Amino acid sequence: MSCRSTLPRFAVNRAATRMASLHRQRVRRDGAADDPPALDLKDIPAALLPDVVAGWQRLMESEYESVVISGWMTGALARLGAPLDVLGAFGRVVEDEVRHVDVAADVLQALGATPTLPRDATPPVLAWRDDAEADEQAIAGMVAFFVIGELVSAHEFRHALNLVKLPIAQWALSEIHRDESFHGAFGFEAARLFVPDFKPVQKDRLRVRLTDELARFERRIGGPLEGPPRELSQRERDMAALGLPPPVVMLSVFYDALEKHVLPRLAELGVDLDVHVGHRE
Ligand SMILES: [Fe+2]
Ligand SMILES: [Fe+2]
């Protein structure tokens, strides 16, 4: 986050052209999605407001990062000749992630904040060289982002939904979660086309890459988790009710999803990861 904070920022613009009404239709799922419930700022303890704004701002930034990365992945998969059902699914992910940025921006505006994003925050993750390794790296990046990142995120959103009480935060989390619950599966289906045919040396490189990705994800949500399980503080419960569960909750969801979902799916791809799951004492 510290390097991001020095990047120039721009205000999110949701309606700049005549395509704005089409965008609005997509964001509201052609009328199937509700408008965001009204928010009375008096419902949010004043002492929590800065952290609530910062938390939703971070969530919007990570949705925007997903727009950039899923866009790249779609391009990379098209370039290496992936089937149309895969490309269609990935194109759908890009559309979903744009929608999630818009939904998070609604929450920020209701909180009285101006939604802003850092420019050029996401470093290019793919190798665009024309060599044999470029395809392998694109697939490895796709597995890291989708089979780990998106799959775990879906579980994080589901758990956050159990704890949220503020109506507009509940609306936003459920709008995001309904899409996220498919994204990890799309990545896994795409990975099944490519990864089982990797040579042993390519699988070794993938293992290293994915082990790094797990550590990065764990750090990103505030880990590793130190010490034995503990009760949440009142402030942590209040933040979770506003849609922002504390690191201790997010980490336990992460370890659980890793053990029950991520590692078994990677094993199905023929990639066994030797990671030790759970909190560290
Ligand atoms: Fe998303
Ligand atoms: Fe996603």
Question: Does the residue 78 lie in any domain?
Answer: yes
Q: Give the Cβ contact number of residue 171 at 10 Å.
A: 21
Under the banding of pLDDT at 50, 70 and 90, the label for residue 2 is very low
pLDDT of residue 226: 86
- Angle formed by the axes of helices 49-79 and 167-194, to 10°? 20
Say if residue 132 is exposed, middle or buried (CB neighbours under 10 Å; 0-12, 13-18, 19+). Answer: exposed
pLDDT tens for each residue of 137-158: 999 999 999 999 999 999 999 9
- What CATH number corresponds to the domain at position 177? 1.20.1260.10
Q: Residue 125: pLDDT band by 50, 70, 90 thresholds?
A: low
CA 231 / ligand 1 centre spacing (Å): 29
The structural domain count of the chain equals 1
- How remote is the CA of residue 80 from the centroid of ligand 1, in Å? 25
How many angstroms separate the CA atoms of 74 and 82, rounded? 9
Domain assignment of residue 127, given as a range: 45-268
Give per-residue pLDDT as tens, 163-194.
Answer: 999 999 999 999 999 999 899 999 999 999 99
> Residue 243: which of 57, 18, 71, 113 has the closest Cα?
57
Let me know if residue 20 belongs to a domain. no
Can you list the alpha helix ranges (DSSP code H) found in the chain?
Answer: 20-27, 49-79, 84-110, 132-142, 151-163, 167-194, 200-220, 234-241, 247-257, 263-268
Please report, rounded to a whole number, the percentage of residues in the chain having pLDDT higher than 90. 85
pLDDT above 90 (res 237): yes
**What local confidence, expressed as pLDDT, does residue 121 receive?**
83
Is residue 172 domain-resident?
yes
Asked if residues 209 and 126 have their Cβ atoms less than 8 Å apart, the reply is no
pLDDT at 3 over 80: no
256, burial (CB in 10 Å: exposed 0-12, middle 13-18, buried 19+): middle
Question: In the prediction, which pLDDT does 127 show?
Answer: 55
Burial 27-52 (b: 16+ CB within 10 A, else e): bbeeeebeebeebeeeebeeebeeeb
Using pLDDT thresholds of 50, 70 and 90, give the confidence band for residue 1. very low
In a domain, 280, yes or no: no
Q: Which one of the ligands is nearest to 150 CA?
A: 2
Q: Could you tell me the distance, in angstroms and rounded to a whole number, from the CA of residue 62 to the centre of ligand 2?
A: 10
Q: Average pLDDT, stretch 13-18?
A: 97
Indicate whether 29 belongs to any domain: no
Q: Is the pLDDT of residue 218 over 70?
A: yes
Mean residue pLDDT of the chain comes to 93
Task: Report, as an integer, the average pLDDT of 247-271.
Answer: 96
State which amino acid sits at residue 221: I
CA of 23 to the centre of ligand 1 (A): 16
Q: Which among 61, 243, 245 has a CA at the least distance from the CA of 168?
A: 243
Is position 31 within any domain?
no
CA of 64 to the centre of ligand 2 (A): 10
Distance CA 17, CA 150 (A): 31
Residue 212, pLDDT above cutoff 90: yes
pLDDT given for residue 228 in this prediction: 82
Examine residue 84 and state whether it is found in any structural domain, yes or no.
Answer: yes
The pTM score is 0.94
Q: Quote the percentage of the chain above a pLDDT of 70.
A: 94
Do the domain assignments include residue 21?
no
Contact assessment for residue 177 and residue 98, using Cβ atoms and an 8 Å cutoff: no
